[in-house]
Amino acid sequence: MADNEGFMPEKQKNFVLPDNRFILLGASNLTLSLRLVIHLMQQQLGAPSEIVAAVGHGRAYGTPSRMLMRGLPSIADCGLWHRLAETESCPSYALLTDIGNDILYESPPEQLLRAVAWCISRLQRQPVQIVATNLPLRSIERLSEGRYLIFRNLFYPFCKLSLVETARRARIVHEGLLDMAASMHFKLYEQDPVWFGLDGIHANYWQRKAYYRDMLAQFPVPDRISTSRQQAHSLTWQQRPTVASKTVFGRTINCPQPSGRLSDGSPVATY
């Protein structure tokens, strides 16, 4: 897998020294709730933090993605891995979620599973606690043909997979992730259909906090977290992050990282 460059601008080297590192990989759900997820993780695991994320609407693990006129590299082929290889080890927590968009880009399930396994193996080169979410299979299987086609044609207009074929591929990935978690020794979170809306894969907006609290409870709580290090107040953006590399109407746009900063001084790099 190739890596794109990501560098820390000189003016941003005054960020606070973090207590830990959060590595966040995902698509629409994580993108919409990025600040909330960081806040909940800090409440549980300590703060301030260095945040390194690969997110974006429609993001896929093993294939480049496109949403409207914006393109992003695959999560397995972005600059996040180069950045992690350059940084010193510290207590790290990785969340891999929103797995499954590759299916609607018509990628074979085996390709998606290889990409996720590659990400896990790279993460395990350093001391890290890993939680991944499995596909919300029961929620997907409850979709009606009409709802599926509306969702597919709206967000993935080039996809021609039927609901039956999409569900079949989702089952393969679901079972593959179960086997992967057992062999690679990471925690796999099974998602309850109660969290999801009409399209079967996006969490209900009003349930986001409870949804992520339940998910993040899979991380082991450190033995000692001082009260002063916990994030008790709500986080706000001092500067919203911008992805390191994307294409817009075919033109590549790069942004040095970290590009974002939270109100507690935590730097946020997005790839």
pLDDT for 234: 78
Beta carbons of 23 and 85 less than 8 angstroms apart: no
Decide if 117 contacts 182 (C-beta within 8 A).
no
Asked if 1 contacts 81 with a C-beta cutoff of 8 angstroms, the reply is: yes
Q: pLDDT value at position 143?
A: 96
pLDDT at 93 exceeding the cut of 80 = yes
Mean pLDDT over 163-173 rounds to 98
> How far are the Cα atoms of 56, 184, 189, 240 from residue 270, in angstroms, in the given order?
9, 26, 24, 10
**Amino acid identity, position 132:** A
pLDDT at residue 7, as a whole number: 38
Hey, what are 172's tokens? 């393969």
Average pLDDT, the chain: 92
* CA 92 – CA 222 distance, rounded (Å): 11
What pLDDT digit, counting tens, does each position of 14-43 carry? 556 889 999 999 999 999 999 999 999 999
**pTM confidence score:** 0.91
Question: How many percent of the chain have pLDDT more than 70?
Answer: 90
pLDDT category, 92, cuts 50, 70, 90?
very high
Q: What is the mean pLDDT of residues 93-106?
A: 98
Domain 10-270: which CATH number of 3.40.50.2300, 3.30.420.280, 2.30.30.240, 3.40.50.1110: 3.40.50.1110
Tens of pLDDT, residue by residue over 194-246, are 999 999 999 999 999 999 999 999 999 887 654 445 555 678 999 999 999 99
Q: Check if the beta carbon of residue 35 is closer than 8 Å to that of residue 235.
A: yes
Region 161-169: what's the mean pLDDT? 98
Considering only residues 7 and 45, tell me which one the structure prediction assigns the higher pLDDT.
Answer: 45
